Structure 1
Amino acid sequence: MIALVTGANGLIGANLCRALLKDGYEVRAFVRTSSDLSAIKDLSLAIVYGDVLQPETLLPAVAGCDVVFHVASVFSYWGITDDDLEKTAVDGVSNVLIAARTASVKRVVLTSSSVVFGSSSYTAVRSETDAPDETSSPAYCLSKLHQERTALKLAADLDLDLVVVNPCMTVGPHDTKLSPSNGIIIAYLSDPFRTTFPGGCNIVSATDVARGHILAAEKGRRGECYLLGSENMEWSLIHRTVGELCGVSGPQFYANHTISFLAATAHEMWAQFSGTRPTTTREQAKMVGQFYWYSHAKAADELGYAPGPARAALATAIASLVAGKHVSIPLRQTLSLGREVYDARAALMKEAP
């Protein structure tokens, strides 16, 4: 079986490539010429250069493939305009589906997001039947919603076999660019006030999300969406768990929506002055107080999806982050990593190609 993975160098893409190779797939990694390939450089796969916004580069990439995993997207709340978010999401998926149909690809799996099913201001668990409030959703969330709607309609028009997966907050190794999901760990560890805030999200391992993609490709029903998550947690519990795993105190300070927005504004101002990326943004602050809680029951029942606990996912993510470039030496010296993190690090080293 030959599989093409767009965005193969990203967090989900790199973990998906590893899972596919482990299952015996022949993998083609579709990446831009400017991409950092350090997350997949040691894997036995074929690198195909191109861009989902350049249709002519997709046709040779999909030729002969049995399945295409369209993972490439912009997951960011900073440094990109709303129009560019929308263009990459909508035009990108349209180009991939048309190329797949032209090449008679048997199935396409689209990586969407759990945010397309919205959030709640209270501790409600949402499913694939729910919808977001489009009047208040951040631009990134809307771009993923429009991407998914476009994909489902176009696939139906093209008579193309499409399955959609909707990962929740995905944390884990092989994240060269530091995605916003792993960024929540760094933000807390870097915060001298050890701040938490209201609301919560669903934390899931990148390894489990990768496995969910393959299950969707092999067992998913055409035209269906599957949430890929693990445990729903309040932010205070997430931050406390990160603290326990890293031997740091807290949370010590509880920030409401207003304080979070003001703090994010200050982070953005400093980022513009220093030329760095902010650890939090005003777009993210708008999401404070909301519960992005979801059920993966459909994926469990129909695909056999069985994710591990969120604490283990956080431990593995921390093990990878502290060994990489995203944690500075001064910050690393303030941490006292727990046994779970060291065990996770040993497991990562054992699995390395």
Structure 2
Amino acid sequence: MISYFYTMSNAEKPPEINNERPVLVAGASGFMGSHTVRQLVAAGRKVRILVRPSSNLAAMGNLPVEISYGDVSNQNSLSSAIKGCDSVFYSVLDPRFWLTNPEPLYRCNVDGLINAMEAALATGIKKFVFTSTMGTLGFNADGPVDETIAFNWREKANPYILARLKAETVFLEYCRTKGLPGVALCVANTYGPEDYQPTPHGGMLSAVARGSVTRAMASSQPTVDIRDAAAAALLAEQYGIIGERYIIANEYISNKDFYAIATNYTGKKAIKLIPHKVAFVVAWAAEKWFKLTGKKDYLLSTDAVFLSGAFKAMDSSKARSQLQWQPRPVQETVQDAIDWYQANAQ
């Protein structure tokens, strides 16, 4: 069972959890969504999931959930899925930051969210927990980033980041102007077990642990265990303040130290680091060649290199205080992820 802890001051008493009414997890087949489902079920909640008919439900295993087939582009399927639910946990995402044409990113990440919010307002849900990203936060040259720093790097952001920014901006506007009982979670790079796809960064961790990848960029990243990110979503349902966003990030760690945890654990040789400037030049040259030859949707790009080192240390004290969120050490995350990858031939 999931335990909730909260110290009340002058805050309004959080709503009681109603175990008789279902909650909806949209995007349940993904990394964040599936872990949210898993923890809701463990907490004794009735769970309905919204997935497309083509979705891979391997992450669901034999969990006792009600399946509602639909798509966030279809208002009728959204309304049907949300009807009768107390809360919505929204983790629908098109993560393809490499797309040459950004239209699908806006169609899913922005338009789909708007459709879901409209359906939620029409059915009177009590809480809408939105999985956003650390990419919507501003940069801070003077120290760790917190929720008060407005987005201040638009000229450097790629279409994927701008689509995510638009989504969060619209979400917070719905909270302010339309009464959506929403809370946004700005989630860092997630790692951990049950990474069925796997995610690109999870796949990299798995490859380093196997010894099949021996080089990585000399950069750093804010990280969070996927299980802790999902726990934050459940805590946000009960204790999150409507209209607020919370940074869900744990340890800020260099790739050198991060991958050293993996290679030390599996007995592989330490990776070699590629200087960031060298990686940028290689990506710049590759990008020129791709454009010259008409190639589209390429992973190797200057945008990707920039984003790999763009995010710095993040202050998650708001989530720790208001949500009583307590993430685990990154070493535990890495080792548990590797154990799962090895057991599942990932």
Structure 1 length-normalised TM: 0.83
Instruction: Note the alpha carbon deviations across 1:235-276, whole angstroms, 9 max, x for none.
Output: 221122222122212232333233355269769999xxxxxx
1:248 aligns with 2:268: yes
Is structure 2 residue 42 aligned with structure 1 residue 13? no
Which residue is equivalent to 1:171? Answer: 191
Q: Report the counterpart of residue 72 of structure 1 in structure 2.
A: 92
Give the alignment of 1:109-120 within 5 angstroms: 109-119=129-139
Deviates more, 1:311-320 or 1:254-263: 254-263
CA distance in 2, matches of 1:226, 1:217: 12
Contact 1:124 1:291 (8 Å CA) reproduced:
no
Shift of 1:76: 2.8
Mapped to 2, the partners of 1:265 and 1:34 lie a distance apart of 37
Contact 1:201 1:291 in 2 (8 A): yes
Does 1:224 pair with 2:231?
Answer: no
1:129 equivalent to 2:148? Answer yes
Displacement after TM superposition at 1:323 (Å): 2.4
Instruction: Summarize the Cα distance change of 1:240–1:161 in structure 2 as closer, same or farther, 3 Å threshold.
Output: same
Aligned to 1:342: none
Deviation larger for 253-262 or 301-310 = 253-262
- In the alignment, residue 162 of structure 2 is paired with which amino acid? L
Distance 1:173 1:81 in 2: 32
The alpha-carbon deviation at position 305 of structure 1 amounts to 0.2
Letter in 2 for 1:216: A
Q: How many angstroms does 1:287 deviate by?
A: 2.1
Residue aligning to 1:87: 107
Change (3 A) 1:99 1:232: same
Q: How does 1:99-114 map to 2 (within 5 A)?
A: 99-114=119-134
Q: Could you tell me how far apart the structure 1 residues matched to 2:268 and 2:207 are?
A: 13
* Cα distance in 2 for residues equivalent to 1:123 and 1:204: 23
* AA partner of residue 125 (structure 1): P
Judged with a 3 Å threshold, the aligned counterparts in structure 2 of structure 1 residues 169 and 293 are, in CA distance, closer, same or farther, namely same
Partner of 1:143: 163
- Distance in 2 (CA, whole Å) between partners of 1:144 and 1:263 is 24
Please give the root-mean-square deviation of Cα atoms over the aligned residues, in Å: 2.7
Task: Name the SS of the counterpart of 1:112 in structure 2.
Answer: strand
Judged with a 3 Å threshold, the aligned counterparts in structure 2 of structure 1 residues 153 and 193 are, in CA distance, closer, same or farther, namely closer
Does the CA contact (< 8 Å) of 1:268 and 1:281 recur in 2? no
Q: Give the whole-Å Cα distance in 2 for the aligned partners of 1:185 and 1:249.
A: 14
Aligned length: 321
Gaps of 5+ in 2: 1-18, 291-296
Separation in 2, partners of 1:304, 1:37? 31
Q: Is the Cα contact below 8 Å between 1:239 and 1:251 reproduced in 2?
A: yes
Q: CA deviation at 1:292?
A: 3.3
Larger displacement relative to structure 2 (248-257 or 91-100): 248-257
Instruction: Assess if the C-alpha contact under 8 Å between 1:123 and 1:293 holds in 2.
Output: no
Question: CA 1:260–1:317 in structure 2 vs 1: closer, same or farther (change >3 Å)?
Answer: farther
Match of 2:106, SS state, is helix
Native 8 Å contact 1:77 1:281 kept in 2: no
In structure 1, the residue corresponding to 2:242 is in which secondary structure?
coil
Contact 2:189 2:221 survives alignment (8 Å) = yes
Give the ranges of 4+ consecutive aligned residues of structure 1 lying more than 4 Å apart after TM superposition: 189-193, 263-270, 277-282
CA contact (8 A) 1:119 1:291 kept: yes
Listed one character per residue, the Cα deviations across residues 154-209 of structure 1 (whole Å, up to 9, x for unaligned) are 23332121111111111112222211331331454577672233331111111111
Q: Structure 2 CA distance, aligned partners of 1:37 and 1:193?
A: 29
Distance 1:167 1:28, change over 3 A: same
Mapped partners of 1:279, 1:317: distance in 2: 24
Shift in alpha-carbon separation, 1:325–1:191, aligned structure 2, 3 A: closer
CA distances 1:94-123 after superposition (whole Å, capped 9, x unpaired): 011100011111110100011111446x79
Q: TM-score, normalised by structure 2?
A: 0.84
Secondary structure at the aligned position of 1:287 is classed as helix
- Superposed CA deviations along residues 123-145 of structure 1, whole A, max 9, x for unmatched, are 94211112340110232222211
Alignment of 1:195 onto 2:195:
no
SS in 2 for 1:226: strand
2:189, 2:223 within 8 Å by CA — same for their partners in 1? yes
Q: Deviations over 1:213-243 (max 9, x none)?
A: 0000000101000111211112221122222
The structure-2 alpha-carbon separation of the partners of 1:164 and 1:175, relative to structure 1 and needing over 3 Å to count, comes to same
CA distance in 1, matches of 2:142, 2:61: 42
Shifted more, 181-190 versus 90-99: the winner is 181-190
Partner Cα distance (2:263, 2:142) in 1: 23
Q: What letter is aligned with 1:130?
A: I
- Equivalent position amino acid for 1:241 in 2: I
Which digits, 9 at most, give the CA deviation of each residue in 1:56-100, with x for residues without a partner?
110010001000011111123335731211221110110111000
- 2:77 — aligned with what? 57
Give unpaired runs (5+ residues) of structure 1.
271-276, 327-353
